[in-house]
Amino acid sequence: MEPAYKDKPHCMNGYPLNVLKFSDDDKIIIQNEELKEMLQHPKVKFRKIVPFSIIGAYRKGKSFLLDYCLRYLYAHYPSINCPNLINPDNWMGAKDEPLRGFSWRSGATRDTTGIIVWSDVFLHNCEMTGEKIAIIVMDTQGLFDTLTTATGNSRIFALGTLISSIQVLNLSGVVQEDQLQYLQFATEFAKFAAADKNELNAKPFQNLMFLVRDWVNWKDHDYGLEGGSTYLNTFLEIKPHQKDELKSVRQFIKESFEELTCSLLPHPGDRVIGNKKNQQMYDGNWGEMDEEFVKELAILIDHLLKPERLVLKKVNQNKLQAAEYFGYLDEYFHLFQS
Ligand code: GDP
Ligand code: MG
């Protein structure tokens, strides 16, 4: 069915801010003046913050997914730059609407490495609690990237974990043992950095979703969250005969996050990845994706970003306000720089 507002594309009034990047000799460069302004905006600074982030290797469809997340956010929440909502019930918009937002497809160069924040802030007032909330969106890149060194990678993942409350770990194909070990390593790093702020026994970090792209084993575990949940149980299960090392990785991950979920996405179709027969530039529209992928994409994004699922960023059980959050973030950026 063609949406009625076909000629009215989404308001997407924002741009990507590369707030942290690596120099050629792997030093961290911080450029967060605009981020500071954004978080200290009078309509934002006293709101509780929900930092939503995605992390993973480059060219695995992270920015592509985030751009659909932005479409969802602009349709469901007023923002500083776009106070009016366009048809939330049909948030994916027209079939042929080109995808805009974080630049995607251009990941072959290193300039997308680091932390990139969308410059607009989404606002929500929670009906149940009366809390005023600000949502920000971050694209984090570097993990498993062959060009970035292992220390750079774990630093960036640790930072992503420290500064978000909903984090998506974007993986391709399957969850591998070395990725779990990597996750443990980075999370240990983050725990260590936050040690002075967190109570000893509380879980220091909030939601982590393992998002597996191009899932092919749907006969074993179906697409989506339910299949993801049974798959998660298989790869995080601690078995008596397992080596101690494998047990402890799993134990550690479980103890570090308040909520662990997993979702399995089908392959998006040839048009999205480009093939020899079809060389014409693809603009990211959903009309040319496989139907099953579109369906699962919509369910996934709604699950991640609907009002009931928003998770406020907590540090040592305190919910951070946006302005405070900037101070927290700046502190970590500088800590990791040194
Ligand atoms: P990023 O570097 O991880 O941010 O990846 P991009 O979002 O820039 O996407 C890289 C390429 O992957 C683009 O050509 C996308 O069209 C394509 N892509 C998007 N989603 C998927 C997916 O689920 N699977 C595959 N195989 N490719 C995808
Ligand atoms: Mg990207």
Burial of 33 (0-12, 13-18, 19+ CB in 10 A): exposed
Residue 211, pLDDT score: 98
60 C-beta closer than 6 A to ligand 1: yes
Residue 278, pLDDT score: 61
Lowest mean pLDDT among 205-209, 219-223, 242-246: 242-246
Helix (H) or strand (E) holding 153: helix 150-163
Burial of 198 (0-12, 13-18, 19+ CB in 10 A): middle
Q: Chain-wide mean pLDDT for the chain? A: 87
Token duo for residue 120:
């607009």
Distance 107 CA to ligand 1 centre (A): 9
Pick the atom of ligand 1 nearest to 265's CA: 23
Residue 7, pLDDT score: 47
Write the single-letter amino acid at 248.
S
293 C-beta closer than 6 A to ligand 1: no
Where does the pLDDT of residue 74 fall: very low under 50, low under 70, confident under 90, or very high at 90 and above? Answer: very high
ipTM: 0.99
Distance 128 CA to ligand 2 centre (A): 35
107 has pLDDT over 60: no
Q: Which residue has the tokens 């990139």?
A: 116
pLDDT tens track for 294-318:
999 999 999 999 999 999 999 888 9
Alpha carbon distance 194, 71 (integer Å): 33
pLDDT tens track for 187-201:
888 888 877 776 666
Pick the atom of ligand 1 nearest to 56's CA: 3
Phi-psi region of 274 (alpha: psi -120 to 50; beta: other; left: phi over 0): left
258 C-beta closer than 6 A to ligand 1: no
Mean pLDDT of 211-236: 96
Residue whose CB lies within 8 A of the most ligand 1 atoms, among 66, 104, 115, for a mutation test = 104
239 has pLDDT over 60: yes
Q: Which residues pair with 318 in a beta bridge?
A: 315
